[in-house]
């Protein structure tokens, strides 16, 4: 069983993008410094550091986005409990594997309700 808070994931992806943007700005500033003083070892090293961070962050946010956008395709857009639409961007949802190929998706409250009945 996997629980995903859509609002939190969206927020987290937003923060990722912010960090990537800040690092990108820093890289631009460093490039300007390097144009004036191309032999500055410290700046060159710092630039390599930012490059590697940017790459890693970009990859991680891409992985996260892929997982997040693929899951609804696999599970479908409806809650198994109430048969209503699920908004993956804003609602907390529960995924449950019912067989090797089947993935159920529930609203968290619906899933809890089902648990109480049984």
Q: Which two tokens stand for residue 30?
A: 């460093």
Beta strand segments in the chain, E: 2-5, 92-97, 103-107
Q: What is the 3-state secondary structure (H, E, C) of 83-95?
A: CCECCCCCCEEEE
Q: How far is the CB of 109 from Zn ion (least distance, A)?
A: 7
Only one of the segments 2-10, 21-29, 61-69, 73-81 lies at the binding site for Zn ion (rule: CB under 5 A); that segment is 73-81
Q: How far apart are CA 81 and CA 62, in angstroms?
A: 31
Only one of the segments 38-46, 60-68, 90-98, 102-110 lies at the binding site for Zn ion (rule: CB under 5 A); that segment is 102-110
Per CB under 5 A, 81 contacts Zn ion: yes
Q: How far is the CB of 80 from Zn ion (least distance, A)?
A: 8
Site of interaction with Zn ion (CB under 5 A)? 79, 81-82, 107, 110
């Amino acid at each position: 069983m996997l629980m995903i808070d859509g609002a939190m994931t969206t927020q987290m992806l937003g923060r990722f993008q912010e960090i990537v943007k800040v690092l990108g700005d820093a890289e631009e500033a460093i490039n300007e410094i390097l144009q004036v003083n191309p032999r500055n070892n410290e700046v060159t090293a710092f630039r390599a550091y930012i490059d590697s961070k940017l790459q890693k962050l970009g990859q991680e946010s891409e992985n996260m986005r892929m997982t997040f956008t693929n899951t609804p395709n696999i599970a479908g857009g409806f809650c198994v409990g109430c048969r209503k639409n699920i908004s993956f961007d804003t609602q907390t949802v529960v995924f449950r594997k019912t067989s090797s190929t089947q993935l159920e998706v529930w609203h968290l409250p619906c899933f809890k309700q089902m648990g109480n009945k049984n």
